[in-house]
Amino acid sequence: MAYPERFRSIKNELEWLYMELYDNRDMLASLESSMEKYASERKNDLRKLDERRIDNPKWYLDSSMVAETMYTNLFAGTFKGIADKVSYLRQLGITYLHLMPFMKTPEKDNDGGFAVSDFLSTDDKLGTVNDVENLADVLRDNGISLCMDFVMNHTSDEHEWAIKAKKGDKRAQEMYITFPDRTIPDAYEKTVPEVFPETAPGNFIYSEEMGRWVLSTFYPKQWDLNYHNPAVFNSIVSAMMFWANKGVEVFRLDAVPYIWKELGTNCRNLPNVHTIVRMIRIILETVAPATILKGEVVMAPKELAAYFGTSDKPECHILYGVSSMVNIWGALASEDIRLLKYQIEDLLTLPPHAYFVNYVRCHDDIGWGFDENKESEIGIDPLLHKIYQYQFWAGKFPGSYAKGGIYNYDEKTLDARTVGTTASLIGLESYESDEEKEKAISRFRLIYSTVFALKGLPLINSGDEIGMLNDESYMLNKEKKDDSRYLHRPFFDWDKANNINLKGTVENRLFSILKVLEGIRKGSSLFSPDAEVFTWDSHNDKVFALRRRDGEKVLLAVFNYSHETQHAHFDYFTGIFKDLLTGKEAEPGIDVELSGYDVLFLTNYCD
């Protein structure tokens, strides 16, 4: 299907949504002209990819898909450096590579790349736009899809628009949300929560140059964009089309729930956010059908369904599984899977087209956002539980094996978040005996096996596969020392990576665990996007279980979140099942014995 035909199929909906939101025919015409331009400029190989993706719209959910996320500079220095390391990515089995923000940012106060100074340029230290395009070509030739972080809520105050706004340019000022005095900002503050009350209090900053108050939800150097202005929307979606033509196949929409602001609300999850995301999806599917949208929506499960849209009017293709990540770590520290089970059940009640990117760690902190109503219902004090979690993972609780850190501690609320690499959190930094090392490796297998078993797409955080430890050197850098998230952002250790083929090393064992999990998923209809996924009662609050089914084929994935041996049984499971990890047999309907941190993938069928 060629572009003109695709455009005709969505024209009415796009124009209705746009006019409903902006009521501006001239700006609509400008947008449609840009769409036609970018569609005509797509390379032949991307057009061929478009056609393949139209025929296989769930390509990103194939059982062979394995994602990895990384910072370009930390992994290989530059885009060219990553291209030179593609053989390593292939060895790991990566088919989807998410690069953290790489667009142009200020030298200082850039929030790890999330303060964008130019949506059409790259950070000079990483390489050029052409380097990104060449990298995308190399990755695509090797069966790897490129994902980029797209920051759409704000720009840095060094963006061209902000610079012009400071000089009094009214059109540039209208790209942001600004006010001449504190009257309206004070009204906003009554209903809008603070994101970082300790490190970035308030939601407005005063620009001396402009003489106006600027809405700045996250950090003072990040000015929120004004999506009430169609020029903002047109510019942002044009930038997406630009990068799609450079070979980007996945756009991670950063902080998408925040993009629409209304006085008198909390400026989160407002209806017009969904109008905007729906229009972006329509536009990209028309201009570049090979691309998908991944939403970063750090909200309660009840807020998530809206970001997928409906089956006939979808929005994001996939979302980050933030709450799953939090509850996996919570279950591991508490050795209690009840909250994890309830949370996964909540996600599985979402519409069938709701899929998640599931992960153990990422570039950010672990924020202890549990379901407080559910905690209270099962007899857990929400505040004490949160305190226990961040103290345990910081190694401050008796019996803790973790070597993490604390981020954004709030003396008033006693809230705090956790930082640290996976390896340091699970005990690979602090073990003093072979027994402790074995337990740490077992914890790694446990939590990554959980991620690989969930509905959606598994994602590996770069460095996890070789057991990268915390890097405290960030404290020597005056630009980074106040942000403890840099603790888990070390430079990739290629000396450690050389050990992945050296049998018996920690690196070899962690790498091999991931390869085994990939092998179980790959090509199996039990891990297809249409396979049924349910939680299953183990009759043991320390044992989490998922059942996958495709017709007569069944897989029961069982996870012991306790350090001690546990027993479980599973109603309605009759007969002998084989464990895909060990080849051993079990009868899940009668009794299953699991050693500490044990994992079983029990099936009645082997592909």
What amino acid positions are annotated as catalytic residues?
254, 296
User: How is residue 85 written in tokens?
Assistant: 């390391």
* 3-state DSSP of 75-136: HHCCHHHHHHCHHHHHHHCCCEEEECCCEECCCCCCHHHCCCCEEEEECCCCCCHHHHHHHH
User: How is residue 163 written in tokens?
Assistant: 């610079």
Q: Going by DSSP bridges, is the β-strand pair 417-419/405-407 parallel, antiparallel, or unpaired? A: antiparallel
Nearest to 288, CA basis, from 510, 41, 17: 41
> What's the Cα-to-Cα distance from 423 to each of 69, 73, 384, 469, 488, rounded to whole Å?
16, 21, 26, 6, 10
How many CB atoms within 10 Å of residue 329? 25
Q: CB–CB of 191/265 below 8 Å?
A: yes
**Which helix (DSSP H) or strand (DSSP E) does residue 146 occupy?**
strand 145-151
User: How is residue 469 written in tokens?
Assistant: 């430890």
- Interatomic CA distance for residues 520 and 583, integer angstroms: 12
How many CB atoms within 10 Å of residue 307? 24
Residue 139: burial class (beta carbons within 10 Å; 0-12, 13-18, 19+): buried
User: How is residue 328 written in tokens?
Assistant: 């996996």
- Interatomic CA distance for residues 601 and 555, integer angstroms: 7
Q: CB–CB of 60/81 below 8 Å?
A: no
- DSSP for 372-424, written as a single string: HHHHHHTT--HHHHHHHHHHHHTT-STT-----EEES--TTT---EEE--HHH
Residue entry with tokens 């700006």: 27
Nearest to 261, CA basis, from 234, 283, 229: 229
In three-state secondary structure terms, 288 is coil
Name residues whose C-beta falls within 8 Å of residue 107's C-beta, 6 or more positions apart in sequence.
none
In three-state secondary structure terms, 140 is helix
Provide the CB-side half-sphere exposure for 366 (13 A, CA).
Answer: 31
- Interatomic CA distance for residues 73 and 6, integer angstroms: 38
Provide the CB-side half-sphere exposure for 16 (13 A, CA).
Answer: 5
Provide the CB-side half-sphere exposure for 545 (13 A, CA).
Answer: 25
